[in-house]
């Protein structure tokens, strides 16, 4: 029934026309508690942008869209954490206590690691739950995500030259 959605031809036809939208949605959903992998789409579009001269997707646009989408996803996870009632350290497990301790120790700076798989999502939720300053939390998330996609671009350079 949904075979068309999982066919490679569907995605190959979709990317040239709606590549930046696909990148944005993939990055947004990948940064929430939903599973996802925006790096594959980012790498595909970046390599295509490096190798095809007539492509309307520039590296700058791709980096910006991926960064903004992924940042908005993590910021929404942060705000989801703020919806939870105030915390009580007495009711936490050892793993939760470790994350809480790191967030309390480093504050919003810990959110520079919000790009990490699984742990990054937990950091964002806990930062919201602990009511960290939303301005600094958002900026640290944005900076971490920007550095992440910049690093991915640097890793792709040897494959396109």
pLDDT values of the chain reduced to their tens digit, one per residue, 161 residues: 567 666 767 766 777 778 899 899 999 998 887 777 889 889 988 888 877 765 678 889 999 999 999 999 999 999 999 998 876 655 567 777 778 888 888 989 999 999 888 788 889 999 999 999 999 999 999 999 999 999 999 999 887 76
Distance (Å, whole) CA 119 – CA 130: 16
Residue 109, number of CB atoms within 10 A of its CB: 14
Torsions phi, psi for 34 (to 5 deg): -75, 145
Torsion angle defined by CA atoms of residues 45, 47, 50 and 52, in that order, rounded to the nearest 10 degrees? -70
What is d(CA 45, CA 42) in angstroms, rounded to the nearest whole number?
5
d(CA 147, CA 145): 5
Q: Comparing C-alpha atoms, which of 35, 44, 34 is closest to residue 14?
A: 44
Helix (H, G, I), strand (E, B) or coil at 59: helix
pLDDT at res. 27: 93
Neighbour tally for 148: CB within 10 Å: 22
Q: Please say whether the beta carbons of 57 and 45 come within 8 A.
A: yes
The DSSP symbol for 158 reads H
pLDDT at 146: 97
Give the model's pLDDT for residue 128: 94
pLDDT of res. 99: 80
Please tell me the distance from the alpha carbon of residue 77 to that of residue 161, in angstroms, as a whole number.
38
Q: What angle do CA 69, 70, 71 make, to 5 degrees?
A: 90
pLDDT of residue 55: 66
pTM for this structure? 0.84
């Amino acid at each position: 029934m949904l075979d068309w959605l999982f066919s490679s031809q569907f995605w190959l036809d979709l990317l040239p026309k709606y590549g930046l939208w696909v990148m944005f949605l993939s990055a947004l959903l990948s940064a929430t508690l939903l599973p996802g992998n925006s790096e594959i789409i980012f790498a595909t579009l970046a390599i295509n942008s490096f190798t095809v001269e007539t492509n309307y997707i520039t590296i700058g646009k791709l980096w910006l869209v991926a960064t903004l989408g992924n940042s908005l996803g993590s910021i929404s996870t942060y705000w989801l954490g703020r919806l939870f009632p105030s915390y009580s350290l007495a009711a936490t497990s050892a793993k939760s206590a470790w994350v809480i301790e790191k967030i309390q120790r480093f504050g919003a700076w810990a959110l520079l690691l919000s790009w990490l798989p699984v742990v990054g999502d937990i950091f964002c939720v806990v930062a919201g739950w602990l009511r960290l300053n939303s301005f600094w939390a958002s900026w640290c998330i944005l900076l971490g995500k920007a550095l992440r996609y910049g690093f991915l671009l640097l890793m792709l350079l040897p494959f396109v030259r």
